[in-house]
């Protein structure tokens, strides 16, 4: 019998779920014969778009608009994905292969339409089909909201990983939360950030597939009790809980031209009872809806705090909700196929934890195996450790998650008991290895003792998993020698590095078609699935005709970026000037302030007439500040204030332009990175774990000005193969920073640097805030009164020197073009295909599975 079609409508909206059917039947249904293949040509696409517009969406010529046209196109494309999606999962089921799971509180997917067309190989056909209907792909693509379910690099990395897993045909599922509201939208009002809710689902979400049949309960609160089961085993039950229902919504993740479509499963929280009927009948309407609202709040909104953990109970609920729902799903899938036999479970399943955010999974997997499936402690622990792997993304102390024991006791009493038991056993291991070293035991303990004890999630993650990795070589080395030193001494084999990457499909092929075409003309298209092949481009740097074409492409991309800047900032950028770009979250350690001080320095030079051999420069800065991060918000305001003064000053003219780009997000970066000349990667050494924007800029032909931090080091190493002068290095190294810090006094540096003195004096004079006196005092204070923690003054002079070098290099346009080409040629290492290949080789050990033929 063919599988019954899913009751979900194409828009993903449906009535209350039917009772779950038997799991094994569900899984079997996926192996049944597939639908006939839908045509991939323009003609069939056009027919389906028209059909969806008039039947699925019910539009006629009076009620149609671009939004519905966009939806119809998505539905036609989704149908094509759907066939491959089913075929992929049928193949996985049939192969009974080991599966990998990427658990992450964030997936910053951006837009899906262009990516789906690229990966299905029907961009041209879709353009033609739309042309036949009088539509433009470019216009309709603009109708799609970004899926902004992440803060920054960590969330976007998860999205790039999903793309690479599908392209490598690895059976990997993403698990995340379907937040009603993603990353806030940033508006700039009077130069200041204003946050607005991101109602990304409000116009419907045609890509997702609602799967109510896989809904599962997640427990909270209540208490635990011991009992003896009929087999005479001592067991624990978690009772009198308040449950929340987790319902999956699946998003398709297509691989590149390979028939694979993987799944990103996002959980939505609701109450298991629509509302309490007894309360309702008794007239207590508020009470009846209260529990519903409380449950739904769990998946309401993404926390917009890049790094600053703040101990909010709702955030912990989100973490447990994701971990529990996902692990239950994984266990359910296993039991459906293998029955309740867990002997080989760890051979068949591996979870990668994206930072400590889902780390409560350590306790939850133990609980599921022991409490729900009656396994003993030792067996459960062996499975848990083997199945879990942990990636650390930051060394910043404020980002290290710690949860109050009291909060866990209230919210998650059973997982807390398990954490205590894990810790008791772990501390015995530590004591046996270092007898009497109580200081070390206290450092390594999962529990931080004190009047308000806390659970250290990183320690729990390390103890509970078989692999711990950092995200760039320097970062991984620093983890071993610093933060996780004790653990590295205990278990050196657990620690490894996985340098980040980005997917060249989205971050070159899709976002920069002009440069992609040029590359493909020169070296063929293998780079799209094997970025190491892009090294073949290097000899073209010597070819004058190629450089000419390269420069023409860059110029067109700059014209396009200038149009965006004009539209969003109202500032004119001259495409012949150097485009100097810093876009990323606003954070003191990323030192947007250093960039701003350099701009003030350039302005000061212009005003003093020091303009011989000037290189015109357009400085673009963009990024969101965490809503509660006052200094970061001041920095945004500061950049805007400088921009207003500089851009209006007739003495400045075309020599310098400054703009702050509002609402930086994935789809903005797709328009920004093709047009950048200079990529600003200027964090204090040792603070940026990796960075990934640095890789996108490199791939799109920008040169980097940067410190020896994160992946910058590896970027520089790669491009240095082609000689010097292709990367503008400056600043103290990690070791030098550590050395200097002990005796560092920014006042001493300022006293010896007249240029910096002038810059600070100009700011202090109120020149950039004439109508708002004092508003930049906090910024100045961080530099002069509060010890300049991020060592901006210490690096200022060398930064200015490197900027001058870059400006000088830019004046030789032929040499610059050659460097640009060589940067692209050297970017082969920075594909997530390479990163994922390494995760798979060293940690996951999955076998690629080809999707069944349609």
Binding part of the chain for ligand CJW, among 123-131, 181-189, 306-314, 654-662 by CB under 6 A, reads 306-314
Q: Which residue out of 506, 584, 591, 624 is catalytically annotated? A: 584
Q: Is 714 in the site for ligand CJW (CB under 6 A)?
A: no
Cβ proximity to ligand CJW, 415 vs 710, nearer residue: 710
Is 624 part of the annotated catalytic residue set? no
Tell me the two tokens of residue 565: 């800047």
Q: Are 674 and 557 in contact (CB under 8 A)?
A: yes
Distance between CA atoms of residues 197 and 171, nearest Å: 35
Exactly one of 48, 125, 146, 688 binds ligand CJW (CB under 6 A); that residue is 688
Is 558 part of the annotated catalytic residue set? no
Q: Is 345 in the site for ligand CJW (CB under 6 A)?
A: no
Tell me the two tokens of residue 758: 């002038």
Exactly one of 125, 143, 146, 309 binds ligand CJW (CB under 6 A); that residue is 309
Binding part of the chain for ligand CJW, among 323-331, 359-367, 669-677, 690-698 by CB under 6 A, reads 690-698
Cα 129–Cα 132–Cα 133 angle in degrees, nearest 5 = 95
Q: Is 686 in the site for ligand CJW (CB under 6 A)?
A: no
At closest approach, how far in Å is the CB of 696 from ligand CJW? 11
Note the Cα 513 to chain centre separation in Å.
23
Exactly one of 153, 174, 206, 622 binds ligand CJW (CB under 6 A); that residue is 153
Q: Is 690 in the site for ligand CJW (CB under 6 A)?
A: yes
Q: Are 821 and 539 in contact (CB under 8 A)?
A: no
Q: Report the residue closest to ligand CJW, judged by CB.
A: 153
Half-sphere exposure of 332 (CA within 13 A, CB side): 18
Q: Is 832 in the site for ligand CJW (CB under 6 A)?
A: no
Task: Order the strands of the 447-448 sheet from edge to edge.
Answer: 402-404, 454-456, 447-448
Q: Is 172 in the site for ligand CJW (CB under 6 A)?
A: no
Cα torsion 18, 20, 21, 27: sign: positive
Cβ proximity to ligand CJW, 87 vs 301, nearer residue: 301
In 135-170, which positions are buried (b, 16+ CB within 10 angstroms) versus exposed (e)?
Answer: bebeebbebbbbbbbbbbbbbbbbbbbbbbbbbbbb
Exactly one of 692, 831, 832, 835 binds ligand CJW (CB under 6 A); that residue is 692
Cβ proximity to ligand CJW, 660 vs 830, nearer residue: 830
At closest approach, how far in Å is the CB of 466 from ligand CJW? 20
Cβ proximity to ligand CJW, 104 vs 840, nearer residue: 104
At closest approach, how far in Å is the CB of 593 from ligand CJW? 17
Q: Is 588 in the site for ligand CJW (CB under 6 A)?
A: no
Is 590 part of the annotated catalytic residue set? yes
Exactly one of 51, 59, 237, 315 binds ligand CJW (CB under 6 A); that residue is 315
Q: Is 399 in the site for ligand CJW (CB under 6 A)?
A: yes
Q: Is 389 in the site for ligand CJW (CB under 6 A)?
A: no
At closest approach, how far in Å is the CB of 442 from ligand CJW? 24
Is 585 part of the annotated catalytic residue set? yes
Residues 461-520 that bind ligand CJW (CB under 6 A): 471, 500
Q: Strand pairing partners for 621?
A: 582, 660
Exactly one of 191, 307, 414, 494 binds ligand CJW (CB under 6 A); that residue is 307
Binding part of the chain for ligand CJW, among 151-159, 441-449, 485-493, 755-763 by CB under 6 A, reads 151-159
Q: Terminus-to-terminus CA distance in the chain, angstroms?
A: 18
Exactly one of 212, 710, 746, 828 binds ligand CJW (CB under 6 A); that residue is 710
Cβ proximity to ligand CJW, 471 vs 836, nearer residue: 471
Tell me the two tokens of residue 714: 């590896």
Distance between CA atoms of residues 712 and 714, nearest Å: 5
Is 485 part of the annotated catalytic residue set? no
Binding part of the chain for ligand CJW, among 90-98, 259-267, 392-400, 834-842 by CB under 6 A, reads 392-400
Distance between CA atoms of residues 121 and 128, nearest Å: 13
Tell me the two tokens of residue 188: 């700039």
Q: Is 454 in the site for ligand CJW (CB under 6 A)?
A: no
Is 733 part of the annotated catalytic residue set? no
Tell me the two tokens of residue 259: 């028939």
Contacts (Cβ under 8 Å, ≥6 apart) of 55: none
Quote the crossing angle between the two packed helices 153-167 and 113-120, to the nearest 10°.
Answer: 20
Q: Is 843 in the site for ligand CJW (CB under 6 A)?
A: no
Exactly one of 163, 250, 306, 788 binds ligand CJW (CB under 6 A); that residue is 306
Pairing of strands 495-497, 172-177: unpaired
Binding part of the chain for ligand CJW, among 164-172, 300-308, 381-389, 715-723 by CB under 6 A, reads 300-308
Question: With left for phi above 0 and alpha for psi between -120 and 50, is residue 255 left, alpha or beta?
Answer: beta
Cβ proximity to ligand CJW, 398 vs 489, nearer residue: 398
CB neighbours of residue 220 within 10 Å: 20
Give residue for tokens 């998860």. Answer: 158
Tell me the two tokens of residue 61: 């010529």
| Concatenated DSSP letters of 280-336 | HHTT-HHHHHHHHHHHHGGGTB----SS-----HHHHHHHHHHHHHHHHHHHHHHHH
What length is written for the chain?
854
Q: Is 179 in the site for ligand CJW (CB under 6 A)?
A: no
Q: Is 125 in the site for ligand CJW (CB under 6 A)?
A: no
Cβ proximity to ligand CJW, 219 vs 357, nearer residue: 357
Q: Is 295 in the site for ligand CJW (CB under 6 A)?
A: no
The H or E element that residue 353 is part of is: strand 349-354
Which residue spans within 623-702 are E strands per DSSP? 656-661, 678-681
Distance between CA atoms of residues 71 and 206, nearest Å: 7
Q: Which residue out of 99, 268, 585, 655 is catalytically annotated? A: 585
At closest approach, how far in Å is the CB of 136 from ligand CJW? 35
Binding site for ligand CJW (CB under 6 A): 151-154, 157, 303, 305-307, 309, 315, 355, 393-394, 399, 471, 500, 688-692, 710
List active site positions: 393, 584-585, 590, 692, 696
């Amino acid at each position: 019998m063919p599988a019954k079609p899913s009751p979900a409508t194409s828009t993903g909206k449906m009535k209350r779920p039917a009772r779950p059917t038997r799991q094994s039947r569900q899984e079997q249904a996926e192996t049944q014969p597939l639908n006939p293949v839908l045509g991939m040509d323009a003609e069939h696409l056009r027919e389906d778009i028209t059909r969806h517009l008039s039947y699925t969406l019910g539009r006629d010529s009076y009620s149609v608009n671009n939004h519905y046209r966009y939806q119809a196109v998505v539905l036609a494309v989704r149908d094509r994905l759907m066939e491959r999606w089913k075929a992929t999962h049928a193949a996985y089921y049939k192969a009974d292969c080991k599966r990998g799971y990427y658990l992450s509180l964030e997936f910053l997917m951006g837009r899906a339409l262009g990516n789906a067309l690229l990966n299905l190989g029907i961009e041209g056909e879709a353009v033609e089909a739309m042309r036949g209907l009088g539509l433009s792909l470019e216009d309709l693509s603009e109708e799609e909201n970004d899926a902004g379910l992440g803060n920054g690099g960590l969330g976007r990395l998860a999205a790039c990983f999903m793309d690479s897993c599908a392209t490598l045909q690895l059976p990997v599922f993403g698990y995340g939360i379907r937040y009603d509201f993603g990353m806030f939208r940033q508006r700039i009002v009077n130069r200041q950030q204003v946050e607005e809710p991101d109602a990304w689902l409000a116009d419907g979400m045609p890509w997702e597939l609602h799967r109510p049949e896989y809904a599962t309960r997640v427990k909270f609160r209540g208490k635990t009790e011991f009992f003896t089961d009929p087999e005479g085993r001592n067991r624990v039950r978690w009772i009198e809980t308040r449950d929340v229902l987790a319902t999956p919504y699946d998003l398709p993740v297509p691989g590149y031209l390979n028939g694979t479509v993987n799944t990103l499963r996002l959980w939505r929280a609701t109450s298991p009872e629509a509302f309490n009927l007894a309360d309702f009948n008794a007239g207590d309407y508020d009470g009846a809806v209260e529990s519903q609202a409380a449950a739904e709040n769990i998946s309401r909104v993404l926390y917009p705090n890049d790094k600053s953990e703040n101990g909010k109970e709702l955030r912990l609920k989100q973490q447990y909700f994701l971990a529990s729902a996902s692990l239950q799903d994984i266990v359910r899938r296993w039991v459906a196929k293998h029955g309740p036999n867990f002997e080989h479970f760890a051979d068949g399943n591996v979870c990668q934890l994206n930072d400590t955010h889902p780390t409560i999974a350590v306790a939850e997997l133990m609980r599921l195996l022991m409490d729900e499936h009656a396994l003993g402690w030792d067996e459960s622990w062996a499975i848990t450790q083997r199945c879990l792997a942990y990636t650390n993304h930051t060394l910043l102390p404020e980002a290290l998650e710690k949860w109050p024991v009291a909060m866990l006791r209230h919210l998650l009493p059973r997982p807390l008991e398990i954490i205590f038991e894990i810790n008791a056993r772990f501390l015995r291991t530590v004591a046996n290895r270092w007898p009497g070293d109580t200081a070390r035991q206290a450092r390594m303990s999962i529990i931080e003792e004190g009047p308000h004890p806390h659970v250290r999630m990183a320690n729990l993650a390390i103890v509970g998993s078989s692999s711990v990795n950092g995200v760039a070589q320097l970062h991984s080395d620093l983890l071993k020698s610093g933060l996780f030193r004790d653990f590295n001494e205990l278990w050196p084999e657990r620690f490894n590095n996985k340098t980040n990457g980005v997917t060249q499909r989205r971050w070159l092929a899709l976002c920069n078609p002009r440069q992609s075409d040029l590359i493909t003309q020169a070296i063929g298209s293998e780079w799209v699935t094997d970025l190491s092949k892009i090294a073949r481009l290097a000899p073209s740097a010597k070819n004058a005709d190629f450089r000419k074409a390269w420069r023409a492409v860059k110029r067109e991309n700059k014209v396009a970026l200038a149009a965006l800047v004009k539209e969003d900032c109202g500032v004119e950028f001259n495409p012949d000037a150097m485009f100097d770009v810093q876009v990323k979250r606003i954070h003191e350690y990323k030192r947007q302030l250093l960039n701003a001080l350099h701009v003030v320095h350039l302005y000061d030079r212009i005003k003093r007439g020091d303009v011989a051999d000037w290189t015109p420069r357009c400085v673009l800065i963009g990024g969101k500040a965490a809503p509660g991060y006052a200094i970061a918000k001041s920095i945004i305001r500061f950049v805007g204030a400088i921009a207003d003064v500089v851009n209006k000053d007739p003495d400045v003219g075309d020599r310098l332009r400054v703009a702050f780009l509002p609402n930086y997000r994935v789809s903005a970066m797709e328009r920004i990175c093709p047009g950048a000349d200079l990529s600003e990667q200027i964090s204090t050494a040792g603070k940026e774990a990796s960075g990934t924007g640095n890789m996108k800029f490199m791939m799109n032909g920008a040169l980097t000005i940067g410190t020896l931090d994160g992946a910058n080091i590896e970027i520089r190493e790669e491009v240095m193969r082609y000689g010097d002068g292709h990367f503008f290095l400056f600043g103290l190294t990690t070791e030098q920073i550590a050395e200097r810090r002990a005796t560092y006094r920014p006042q001493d540096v300022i006293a010896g640097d007249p240029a910096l003195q002038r810059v600070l004096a100009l700011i202090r004079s109120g020149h950039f805030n004439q109508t708002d006196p004092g508003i930049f005092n906090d910024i100045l204070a961080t530099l002069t009164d509060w010890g300049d923690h991020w060592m901006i003054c210490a690096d200022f002079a060398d930064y200015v020197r490197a900027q001058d070098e870059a400006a000088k290099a830019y004046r030789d346009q032929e040499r610059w073009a050659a460097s640009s080409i060589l940067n692209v040629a050297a970017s082969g290492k920075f594909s997530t295909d390479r990163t994922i290949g390494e995760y798979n080789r060293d940690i996951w050990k999955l076998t690629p599975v080809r999707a069944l033929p349609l």
